[in-house]
A = this chain, B = another copy of it.
Amino acid sequence: MFYHDKQLQYTVRVDTPSPLFAKMLQQAIGGVEGEIRVMMQYLFQAWGSRGPTKYRDLLMETGTEEIGHIEMLATAVAMNLEGSPASVQEEAAKANPMIAAVLGGMNPRHFLSTGMAATPEDANGTPFDASHVYASGNIMADMYANVTAEATGRVLATRLYEMTDDPGMKDMLRFLIARDTMHQQQWLAVIEELGGTQGLPIPNSFPQNQELQEVSYTFFSTSVEGVEPPTGRWSSGPSLDGKGVFTTRALKPMGQEPKLAPPIPQGHAQTEQMTGGLSGALKNVTNRVEDAVGNSRRPDHGQS
């Protein structure tokens, strides 16, 4: 359950309104790196949290803070739109074609749809789409998603910081960048608490002897022959989880050439596709088994 305060978490001040900057700020509201996303991501992770209560609490605490960040940014957009070209007198616009040009770069919906206010969209006017809310039910996977969100969010905030000379906007962004620092740190802290990057692959509850371990630590190079695959921490030596040894191998097919059954009559493919009929379908099943079995026997071909 939630409460609100009329005051903002941090001061929002715009010294020189800029409708172009208003458009840019939208990315931090409704973009995939933005605040609506983290707000919903942390809250949905909390609401579905199964496991130690403290992580649920942690997610709820920060998810709630993020609602206030959307509020700050929406306020900043509204303030940047005050005094914008669409609100200046027509004579000015006619006398100065520059104004019209800038107007062309403004988000049209900032005037047409909201009368000078923010929308839950990104800088291109693409509405926020909640499929970006990652909440997998696996806490480690979710923590990496959260670090990603705060890392891309902080990158975005520093780019916005570079785009403006407005002291008020720079001050607000200094605050948001610092909060992104903390939020990166806190999700990394949870990762550390839960075993860090050296733990078993995520999810650690799946017994590794059920995966095909002969390819669990193999770097497959898909380059054409004669090109050296890139080397680094991933190409040789012990794996990070200490459970295997990295090797590098050129990719070669381990599977068959797929053969699907002919189309079923009710699906109304072209008759030219259906020469096999039912007997073809049966034949196909036979082939498929033979292919699968025979696969180890077939001569090595591929790119070499």
Contacts and interface: CB of A to CB of B under 8 A. Distances in A.
Chain copies in the assembled complex: 6
B263 A50 contact: yes
Contact of A145 (B148, B206, B226, B274): B148
A254 interface: yes
B6 A57 contact: yes
Contact of A151 (B3, B141, B160): B141
A135 B272 CA distance: 17
Interface in A153-180: 154-156, 158-163, 165, 168, 174-175, 177-180
B139 A272 contact: yes
A116 B204 contact: no
A38 interface: no
Contacts of A138: 115, 151-152, 155, 268-270, 273
A222 B239 CA distance: 35
Interface in A11-39: 11-13, 20, 23-24, 27, 30-33, 36
Nearest to A98: B97
Contacts of A274: 51, 205
B3 A40 contact: no
A165 B266 CA distance: 13
17 contacts: A1-B253, A3-B222, A12-B256, A27-B113, A43-B70, A50-B263, A50-B273, A51-B263, A58-B230, A98-B101, A115-B264, A115-B268, A116-B267, A128-B129, A178-B211, A194-B272, A225-B303
In the A-B complex, the 8 residue pairs with the closest CB atoms: A104-B105, A115-B137, A48-B117, A124-B125, A51-B273, A8-B255, A7-B253, A115-B267
Given A11-B255, A101-B104, A203-B268, 20 more contacts: A2-B2, A3-B3, A5-B223, A8-B255, A44-B117, A47-B71, A50-B116, A50-B117, A62-B220, A109-B124, A115-B268, A125-B125, A129-B131, A138-B151, A144-B151, A193-B233, A202-B270, A204-B270, A204-B271, A205-B274
